[in-house]
Chain A
Amino acid sequence: MSEPIIEIENVTKSFGGVQANRGITLTVPKGAITGLIGPNGSGKTTLFSSIVGYHPIDAGSIRFQGQEISKLNVQDIARLGLLRTFQTTRIYGKMNCTQNLLISISQRQAQFADMFARARAELVDRAEHLLAFVGLYDKRFLRAGSLSFGQQKLLEFAMALMNEPTVLLLDEPTAGINPTLINGLIDRLKRANMQFGITLFIIEHNMRAIMNMASKIYCLAHGELLAVGDPLTIQRDQRVIDAYLGAH
C-alpha cells in the first residue's frame, strides 16, 4: 500500500453519554479508494465529521498530508483540499446547476479581489464538462432544487470535483439513487479516482458497490474499529457478518 494521506490515531468523540467513536486508529492511503462500512449508528458519519472539522474531537489526532488538522475549522480544512459530501444531499437549491458548480471552485488561492471576479470562460467550460461527466448537462440551466434526489447527489459530486480536492470523503454516494444508475455512478467514482487522481474515502451501505470499488475497507461497530482488510477478507470476516446481522 502506498503512503498514507490521512492518519487517524486514537480518535474519541462522545455526544453526552454516547461514545460515537472510541479510540479509532486508521489510515487512508494516497491515491486509492478506501471504504468505511458498519451498521447504522456505528459512528461512520461522526468520524467523517471529525475529520473535516465539524466538531472538536475529545482525544486523539488527525493528520492530513502530515499536518495536524484536528484543531482547524471546517473552511480551513476544505481549503487544504480535504472535502466531504453529505449523506442528506446539500446543494444550492435556488441557483441553477452551472452556478452551483461555478461557486464550488477551490478557494485555496482566493484573494479579497477574487470576490469580484467574473467566471472566466474556461471555468464555465469546465463546469459544463463536469455536468456532462455526471450526466446533467441537459439540466444545466434548471434550478438545482428542482432536480430529483438522485440527480442532486450527482450534482453534489460534480461540485466536489469542481473544487479539485486532494481527498474526497463521500457519505453514502449510492443511497437513494435509482439502482439502474448505480453502475454508472461507480464507474464515475472510479474515473474520478483514476483520471483526476483524487483519493476517495467512502462510507457505503451498498456492499456490492463498495466491494467493487475499494481496495481497502474498514468496518466500524459500536464506535470501535472492528476489522480491516481487502474486500475479500472483509466479506469473509465472521465478526463483520455478525455485526451486520446483530450478533453483538
Chain B
Amino acid sequence: MSGGVIHEEEVLGKAYDSRLMRRLVGYLRPYGRQVTFAIATIVGNSALQLAPPYLTKTVIDHYIPARDLSGLTVIAVLYLTTLVASFAFEYAQTWTMQVTGQRVMFDLRMQVFTHLQRLDLRFYDRNPVGRLMTRVTTDVDVLNELFTSGVVSIFGDVFTLVGIMAVLIWMDWRLAIVAFSVLPLIALITQWFRRNVRDSYRTVRAWIARINAYLQERITGMSTVQLFRREERDFAAFDDIDRAHRDANVQSIFYYAVFYPAVELVSALAASLIIWYGGGRVMADLLTLGSLVAFLQYSQRFFRPISDMSEKFNVLQGAMASSERIFALLDTPVEVKSPEVRRELDTASLVRLKPDTTGGPETTGGPETTGGPDTAGGVIEFENVSFAYVPGEAVLKNVSFRVEPGQRMALVGATGSGKTTIVNLLLRFYDVQEGRITIDGIDIREMDLAELRATFGLVLQDVHLFSGTIAANVRLGHSEIDDAQVRHALESVHAWGFVSQLPGGLSAPVAERGATLSVGQKQLLSFARALAFNPRVLVLDEATSSVDTETEFLIRDALKVVMRGRTTIAIAHRLSTIQDMDRILVLHKGELRETGTHQELLARRGIYHRLYQLQFKERAEALENAS
C-alpha cells in the first residue's frame, strides 16, 4: 500500500516553455487594450517605487543642512502625491489584470467544455470523467494564477529591479558595483531553494493526494472495514501515509527555514558593504550622506522582489503543466462529425426534429397516438459492418441486416457479443471501420449528426439523470415540450403514479444522479423521456438488474407503450421483451449467427436455444413444475 505513486496531475515539467507561452499569450489578444493599460500602470508604479529613498536623500543632503522648512513641506507634498498615485496605479493594475485573467479563463473554460461536447466517445473511453473534470476546473484555475499574480508581479519585479539598478549606478557607480557584488550569492541561494522546493513540493503534493484518496475511500467504505474488522490494519496503513506526508513536509520546512534567513543575511551583507565602502567615500567627500542612506534603503527594496520571484516560480511551473494538458485536450481532433455536404432524408418519411406538439392531456391522444410516427420509409441497413475498439480486436465482424420501418428487432447474445456496439454505431458514437450503415439508402456518415440522432430515442441500462426537476429530466433542453406533454408522457409510462406523490410533482427536484429515486423509477423516467421526444426509432438497452415484481410489471407495460408504432431496436434481457419482437438477431463473438422469431430460433436448436436454456432455465423449470 505504500510507495510514492505520483499521479499524472502531480508531474511538473519545465517552468517555461516558449511554445506554450506563446499560445497562452494568444488568449490575451482580444483584451489587448486592457493588457496595454495594465502594463502601463505596472511601469508607472515601478517608477513611483523609486521615489521615497530619493526624497529622503534630498532632505538629508539639501534641506536639513539648509534648514529649509518650506522646502521640507514641498518634499512632503511630493511624497504624498507619489503615495496616492501609487495607490491608484496599483488598484487600476490589479483590477484590470485580474478581471482580464477571469475573462481569459472564462473563454478557455468554455472552449474546453465545448470541445468536450464534440469529442468522440472513443476519447471518453480512454479518459475517466474525473480527469476530464480536472481539465475544465482545476487546470484552468491554476492558469489563472499565472495570468494574475504570477506573471504580472514578475513584470513588476523586473521593472523595479531595473529601476533601482539604474538609480544606484547614476548616484555612484562604484558603490553600486560593490552593492551588486552580492547578487551572485542571491542567485545561488535562489537556485538551490527553487530546485529543492520544487522536488519537495511535488512529494508533499503526492502524499497529500494519497492521504485524501485513502481517507475518502475508507470513509465511504467504513461499514465494510468494520464488518471485516480491518480497523487496526487500516489504521497502520493510514499511519504510514500520514507519517510520510509529515516527513516530506519537515523536509520542505528545512528549505524554507534556510532560504529566508539566507536572503536576509545576504541583504545584511550588502548593507555592511555599503557602510564599509560607502562610509569611506562619504569620509573622502566623494559621496553625500543622503546618498548613502538612499543606497541603504534601495538595497532593502532590492531583495524583496528577488525572494518574491522565486516563489512565483512554482506558479509558473504548475501553470505550464496545466496548460500543456489543456492544449493536449483541445488539440485532440474530433473524428465523428457532420459532413461538409449533408444529404438530407425525405423529411416526410423519417426525420422529425421537433417532437409532436399537438398532444396534451385535454385532448384524448398523446404524442404516441395523435402524433405517432408514421412508419412509411426509414429502412435501416447494416452492410458488411466491421468494427474494433482496439485495433486487432474485432468486436463486430462483417455484420449485415436490415430493419424495416415499424419493425421490432431484438439483439440477443452473451456479454461481449457486440450488441451494445451495434447501438453505438447506429447513433454514430463511433464510426464504422468497414462497411456502412444506411437509412433509406443514405450512409449515416453523410447525414447531419444532429438530424441523425434526432431520429432515435435512446434508453440506456444505466439511466442518467441530471440534477434539476423531474420535468427538466424528461424534456431536457427542449423547452418546446411543455408541462402537459411531460405529464402525458409520464402518465403513459406509469411514472405519474410516483411523480405525483413527490412534493412538487413535476417540479420536484431530482438529486445528483437521481439518488433519491429507485432503480425502477429511474427506468420509468427514462421511458418518459424517450416518449416525450417522440422519436421514429426507439433504441433500447434493457436493464438487467432485477427489481421487485410490481415494478417489473409496470416497466414491462411501459415498454409496450413506448414501442407502440415505432421501429424498435432493443438489446433485450427480458423474456417478455423478446417475446414481443418481430425478429431476433443472435450475435455471437461479433458475428451475426442467427435471425428469426423466438419460435423459429428455438426450433432451430442453435445458439439462441442454448442461450435461452442458460439464461432462462430456471424459469422453464418452474413452468414445468407448475404445469
A interacts with B: no
